[in-house]
Amino acid sequence: MGYLTRWLAPLTRRPWWPRPGNGLALEPFLDEAERCDCQVERHIWLIRLIDWIRRGEPTSGTQLVLRLLEQHPERRARVVRLLAEFWREVDVAALLADYGFPPRTAFLNELGERLRRRMLPMTPETMDLGALFHQLFGDPDDAQWLSALDDDTLARLTALWQEVMDAVAQHERVDQPLGWREPFFDAMFYLATQIRGTGFSPAFRSRMGMRLDADFEAELLAAERRSHDESVRQAFRQLGQVTERVHDIALAHVQAGGRAGHWPTALLHEAQYLRLLLDRCAQGARGLHGHLEEHGISVDLVFQIDQLCERCRRLEMLLDVALAPQPGGALRHLLIVLVEVGERRRSVRALFRQHTSQLARKVAERSAETGEQYITRTRAEYTTMLKRACGGGAVMAVTTYLKFGIAALALSPFWLGMAAGLNYATSFVLIQLLHFTVATKQPAMTAPAMAARLSNLHEDEAVERFVDEVANLIRSQVAGIVGNMVAVAPLVFGAQWLSWWLTDAPAISAETARYVLNNLTLLGPTLFFAAFTGVLLFASSMIAGWTENAFVLHKLDSALRWNPHIRAWVGVARATRWAQWWRKNISGLAANISLGFMLGVVPVVASFLALPLDVRHVTLSTGQVAAALGALGWDVLHQPGFWWCVVALPLTGLLNVAVSFTLALRVAMRSRGVKVKDRARLRAAIWRRARRQPFSFVWPPRSAPSSVEAVPPSGPSSSA
């Protein structure tokens, strides 16, 4: 897809027909304006002219075109007639009201539309000026050279445009006495109708006026909130009426013999009131972000909020142009904004970056709530983490033998992967329910919790607090990995010797043990697979955050608690307990189940696609190496292959942790708008602490540092 998009990009960004040559060929090209007899030929002529201007130095090219027109009145008259015909034929309001806004306000629909525009060429045979504008100004640098035009060039362009409008007025219909301003007022009315419709849509109406704090007790604050919500509703109700009133006053002024641009005071007052209503509507839409933060984020709703705010801004710009005594500057500003909007709408990357940033932040914050429980700050918390990690390692010892048993069933690859995934998922969920932990699950959860402390990076104290959190995190990871390995290795090895004692044979065969050592050796692709496993760990944390957001957005905890059928089926008390339990554990369940099945199924799918991908989880790998040692006996200690596997274990754990933590921290930092220079400052502070106090990254202090707000665990672990 990427290669095809890049190959078609020149066709979709620039016209593919012959361009005019250098400056010597410009005069004959301008003379061709008289021979453009049909609409599509006029469109092609305009596209080629603008493309010629941007090919060289655009300001000089524009001045050359204007000079050639000013030196030859007949040529200027021909170009004016062409531009007047162009203005009369196209739907100008389609550009002013619709350009840059998707026809259907949904994220996936807009994604499909952008992909279509990037991959398929566009035709100049259209009356929609919005569709044609994409071809006229389809270069990313158009906004830059338009804004660089000097005042003299702009004045000369304004004079040419005024001649075109005068030519249009000579053939205009009688019912448009406002002349070129009529499409602007039409577009304003279209925008007002769309804003009003969005404001009263079910998605907005159900959230408008909802109390963001369920514990509001101050009557004054509640009254102010209700007053604000009612003023927002009134703004949406009055928007269309005030827009029509502005048009009617302007029309009456012109029909009474007044000059356009010298408006009466009543019109200016109505225009100011219209601006106030637009500001109130935009503020009301942006206020919904607070509701989304509290009750879950919908990408489609965020998309509609942004579109409504942009329409309010567009309507205000059109109002400025329509009422300006000298509209040249306002027109240029509007044109530049339209060019920038068109460029943004062509970008698929910008769509994802713009409309998923809040979802990414909410996912990170949901993970941060869980991640606080994995950061140890005192020796007591450090000891507790060791105990929980040992418990997780004990469960993973059973998981290791179940893995060998599943492999011995000789199932087909798909069912083998599903069985392995079920084994992992069941083990991870059991670890969660027993309040144990698996070290590699921590980093993707703790990274957002650390990013939550990045609000005031301009203060040295805030940077030091973040470095303290890094030290706390690394110590927590050390405790988790050591606890897992200390528990899983002896238990697996002991189970092997117990099997020798009871059955005079190991639990796994020597052939299987040699396969394990050959598979987990450092001399193979183990490190690459360990890094890939870190990606899966990160993906599971994102799935957890997304699932919890959807759980909150759709109010499933409320449904479990208050649904009449559920209450009648399980009882009121049990329904309440279930709702609380699911709200507390949904994130951990989603993370553990998704991770378990990804560890089992992804390698099978990759093998089907002939991709060299496998997983290397440090705790499972440690258990397998211990099982191989128990099967082959002490003689294996003299073989270098065994020690290559032992050396690979800490590196596997390091990559599991580092990759998942880096990806999660990157998402969390982007969601909070952390700048690149601030990231460099953080890295420098961490290296400085590592040089001065290296031991602080391994063993906790006697008490939490005074610069760190110790956040106590909020309860049992919600994720393995």
Can you give the residue ranges of every domain in the chain?
1-171, 175-323, 363-697
What mean pLDDT value characterizes the chain?
81
Query: For residue 166, what pLDDT is reported?
Result: 83
CATH of 363-697 among 2.30.30.830, 1.10.260.40, 3.10.310.10, 1.20.1080.10:
1.20.1080.10
Q: Is the separation of the CB atoms in 133 and 146 below 8 Å?
A: no
Tokens describing residue 430: 């059991």
Q: How far apart are CA 5 and CA 406, in angstroms?
A: 45
The better pLDDT of the pair 541, 86 is held by 86
pTM score above 0.75: no
Tokens describing residue 205: 């109406």
The better pLDDT of the pair 221, 493 is held by 493
Query: For residue 426, what pLDDT is reported?
Result: 96
Query: For residue 316, what pLDDT is reported?
Result: 94
Task: Kindly state the DSSP code that residue 9 receives in the 8-state scheme.
Answer: H
Backbone angles phi, psi at 36, to 5 degrees: -85, 95
User: Is the pLDDT reported for residue 141 higher than 60?
Assistant: yes
CA angle at residue 406 from 404 to 407, to 5 degrees?
Answer: 65
Query: What digits encode the pLDDT tens for the residues 611-642?
Result: 989 999 999 999 999 999 999 988 999 999 99
Q: Report the candidate in 719, 694, 710 with the shortest Cα–Cα distance to residue 469.
A: 710
User: Is the pLDDT reported for residue 96 higher than 60?
Assistant: yes
Q: In the chain, how many H helices and how many E strands?
A: 30, 0
Query: For residue 303, what pLDDT is reported?
Result: 76
Tokens describing residue 11: 């066709």
The greatest distance separating any two alpha carbons of the chain, rounded to the nearest whole angstrom, comes to 111
Cα–chain-centroid distance for residue 560?
A: 30
> Are 175-323 and 363-697 in the same CATH fold?
no
pLDDT exceeding 90 applies to what percent of the chain?
A: 33
Q: Report the candidate in 512, 645, 404, 621 with the shortest Cα–Cα distance to residue 637.
A: 645
CA angle at residue 231 from 227 to 237, to 5 degrees?
Answer: 145
Lowest mean pLDDT among 116-130, 567-581, 609-623: 116-130
Helix (H, G, I), strand (E, B) or coil at 128: strand
Q: Is the separation of the CB atoms in 438 and 477 below 8 Å?
A: no
Query: For residue 173, what pLDDT is reported?
Result: 52
| pLDDT interval class at 16 (50, 70, 90) | very low
Domain 175-323 class? mainly alpha
User: Is the pLDDT reported for residue 229 higher than 80?
Assistant: no
